[in-house]
Structure 1
Amino acid sequence: MGKGDQTRQTILDTAVRLARYHGLSGLSIGAVAASADMSKSGVWAHFKSKEALQLACMERNGVEFINQVIRPSLAAPRGIRRLESLVQHWMNWYSRPGGCLFLATANEFDDLDGPLNDRMVADQKDLLDCISQIVTTAVTEGEFASTTDPIQIGQEVFGILMTYNWTHRILEFPDADKRTWTALNRLIDSLRA
């Protein structure tokens, strides 16, 4: 990786960290520059606009999610164990300091038109699709009934995960983890072949 690429990566890592606390709308070139110990013009040279920085942050966040949630989950055996691994890694993702940028961008850009909304919607669809694909493998492996609707179950698992984020991070329920697994296990039991 060249020096320019390394600098860009440092800027993006800093910006994503800040955005997890303040949202992408709260990002400024000046705040990112100060936190990365750079000049504003140095940050500006890499992105040319706040929107370009925001879009790059969304992309970087997606790469981090793949590396921290998807890839480790895919190492688990296909089927129910892979779904459980996905949920565990996703819960860990929601527990990171500052929160989840996917959820923040959904709140920030849901009613706006333009590239930020388009990227946010694509990210949300990818999240649901990931769960649905793992559910499909559980059907293929014969662990879930052949009548299982992977899209429906993807939505239900996503709902369980979002509820976990709410009860764990916002409400600070001490038994949020336990209740999340109870909900997931109840769903899994209802789908067994």
Structure 2
Amino acid sequence: MTTQDGRLLRGEQTRRAILDRAADIASAEGLEGLSIGRLATELKISKSGVFTHFGSKEELQLATVRAAVEVFREHVTKPALAVPPGLRRVRALLNAWTAYQRDLVFPGGCFFYSTAAEFDARPGAVRDAVAKSQLNWMTFVERCLREAQELGEIDPGADVRQVAFELDALGEAGGAKALLFDDDDRFARASRAMRNRLAAITTG
């Protein structure tokens, strides 16, 4: 049993190392930049070792999306949930999201911005997985805004879904432009724009 447990642990560690590297590559080069051979070479493991974990390029891509979702949750969603509901949580969420992009948690910037652009016009399981991750993100932003609205901190007449869309667009644009122009001031501008949008619907 001890030997079997050791093998399982090593197998999980190998899988995690593969997915960590795969997510880094995909953030900069896209999910099509992934290959079993490339990962095997970079991580100095056999192709069969990589294939055993995933079996196909599509499964590798799907597993990479799932791994990236977990990283995003750790850096963005969980810190926000540690803050009480209301405007404080909304602000914590936006700050964590900006930090996730600014600190290059993924070397190519936001994993989801990159992969969404790559697969938005390509029907299939990978596109569906990326789309689901983005739908879940937008739903969470709306939920946080709605909690603040229910607490009376946001104008009851505000269109929460529209505000969530605008905040997402501002943050995404700031992150993309900061990376493109190598200019961290774009993060500050995006953050300022998001704060101004929130201020416009804040009560009191």
Distance 1:108 1:167 in 2: 17
Show the counterpart of 1:98: 108
How has the CA–CA distance of structure 1 residues 167 and 34 changed in structure 2, closer, same or farther, with 3 Å as cutoff? same
Task: Give the one of 72, 84, 103 matched to 1:77.
Answer: 84
Q: How many residues align?
A: 193
RMSD: 1.4
Q: How does 1:105-144 map to 2 (within 5 A)?
A: 105-144=115-154
Letter in 1 for 2:31: L
Distance 2:188 2:50 in 1: 43
Distance 1:66 1:172 in 2: 26
How has the CA–CA distance of structure 1 residues 173 and 17 changed in structure 2, closer, same or farther, with 3 Å as cutoff? closer
- Deviations along 1:34-83, one digit per CA (max 9) or x if unpaired, are 22221111101110000000000000000110011100111123211211
Q: Alignment identity in percent?
A: 33
Q: How does 1:40-55 map to 2 (within 5 A)?
A: 40-55=47-62
Task: Give the one of 167, 170, 174 matched to 1:160.
Answer: 170
Distance 2:41 2:126 in 1: 24
TM-score when scaled to structure 1? 0.94
Deviation at 1:181, TM superposition (A): 2.6
Letter in 1 for 2:152: G
Worse-matched range after superposition: 110-119 or 9-18: 9-18
Q: How does 1:51-62 map to 2 (within 5 A)?
A: 51-62=58-69
Deviation at 1:162, TM superposition (A): 1.1
1:14 paired to 2:24: no
Letter in 1 for 2:143: Q
- Deviations along 1:72-119, one digit per CA (max 9) or x if unpaired, are 111123211211111111112222122121011111111111101111
SS in 2 for 1:112: coil
How has the CA–CA distance of structure 1 residues 46 and 151 changed in structure 2, closer, same or farther, with 3 Å as cutoff? same
Distance 2:117 2:185 in 1: 26
Distance 1:130 1:70 in 2: 8
Show the counterpart of 1:2: 9
1:28 paired to 2:38: no
Which ranges of structure 2 fall in alignment gaps of 5 or more residues?
A: 1-7
